[in-house]
């Protein structure tokens, strides 16, 4: 008897209430999405205006991890040094209090998932391309270097080295 009473007390969520909530939240979602896209556009333009004229078109983020430190230094950073801005994730405690362009670019394009190590390549009037090395280095750590070597080749080819 108790379960019948509980079943009668539980009423389904009214469909009209779900529609009303959706209608109220939709403008907020659209506004947040529009703001996100505008920030991305502003960052692209800032990189095109500030970095590209100085010959910098790549942001590389790495760290002092023993898994990838030497590989990234030798095979990526050294090869792309003249054309890149490098951020050391391990040294983030010394990053400036007010975010610089490279930190803002990193936060926007790289933050959230598999962000270390990574490379972001910019080309004039094109959307930036992000190369995430975290998963390939996970395989590399287990004796499977193929995926990290393939990603490195793709990065260098796209960066036209």
SS3 of the chain: CHHHHHHHHCCCCCHHHHHHHHHHHHHHHHHHHHHHHHHHHHHHHHHHHHCHHHCCCEEEEECCCCCCHHHHHHHHHHHHHHHEEEEEHHHHHHCCCCCCHHHHHHHHHHCCCCCCCEEEECCCCCCCEEEECHHHHHHHHCCCCHHHHHHHHHHHHHCCC
> Cα torsion at 102, 104, 105, 108 (round to 10°)?
160
Beta bridge partners, 90, equal none
Task: Kindly list the domain boundaries of the chain, sorted by start residue.
Answer: 33-158
The rounded distance, in Å, linking the Cα atoms of 90 and 112 is 17
**The predicted structure's pLDDT at residue 15:** 80
CA distance 114 to 131: 10
Looking at residue 158, its pLDDT comes to 94
pLDDT at 45: 97
> pLDDT at position 1, please?
53
| The pLDDT of residue 7 | 58
Strand order in the sheet with 84-88: 84-88, 58-62, 118-121, 129-132
**Is the distance from CB of 105 to CB of 47 less than 8 angstroms?**
yes
Q: According to the model, what pLDDT value does residue 3 have?
A: 62
pLDDT along the chain (161 residues), means of 10: 61 78 87 96 97 96 92 94 93 91 95 88 95 92 91 94 59
Separation CA 61–CA 148 (nearest Å): 15
Rounded to an integer, what distance in angstroms lies between the CA atom of residue 5 and that of residue 26?
A: 37
pLDDT (tens digit per residue) in 99-144: 999 999 999 999 877 888 999 999 999 999 999 999 999 988 888 8
Predicted local confidence at residue 33, as pLDDT: 95
Is the four-CA dihedral 75, 78, 84, 88 of positive or negative sign? positive
Q: Residue 8 has what pLDDT? A: 60
Predicted confidence at residue 56, as pLDDT, reads 95
């Amino acid at each position: 008897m108790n379960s019948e009473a509980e079943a009668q007390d539980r009423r389904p969520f009214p469909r009209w209430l779900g529609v009303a909530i959706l209608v109220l939240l939709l403008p907020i979602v659209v506004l947040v999405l529009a703001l996100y896209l505008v920030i991305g556009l502003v960052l692209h333009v800032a990189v095109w205006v500030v970095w590209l004229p100085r010959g910098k078109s790549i942001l590389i983020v790495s760290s002092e991890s023993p898994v990838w430190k030497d590989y990234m230094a030798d095979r990526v950073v050294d090869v792309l040094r003249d054309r890149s801005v490098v951020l050391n994730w391990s040294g983030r405690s010394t990053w400036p209090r007010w975010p610089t362009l490279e930190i803002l670019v990193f936060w926007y394009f790289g933050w959230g998932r598999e962000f270390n190590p990574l490379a972001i390549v910019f080309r004039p009037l094109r959307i930036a391309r992000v190369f995430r090395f975290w998963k390939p280095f996970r395989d590399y750590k287990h004796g499977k270097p193929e995926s990290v070597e393939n990603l490195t080749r793709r990065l260098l080819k796209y960066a036209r080295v």
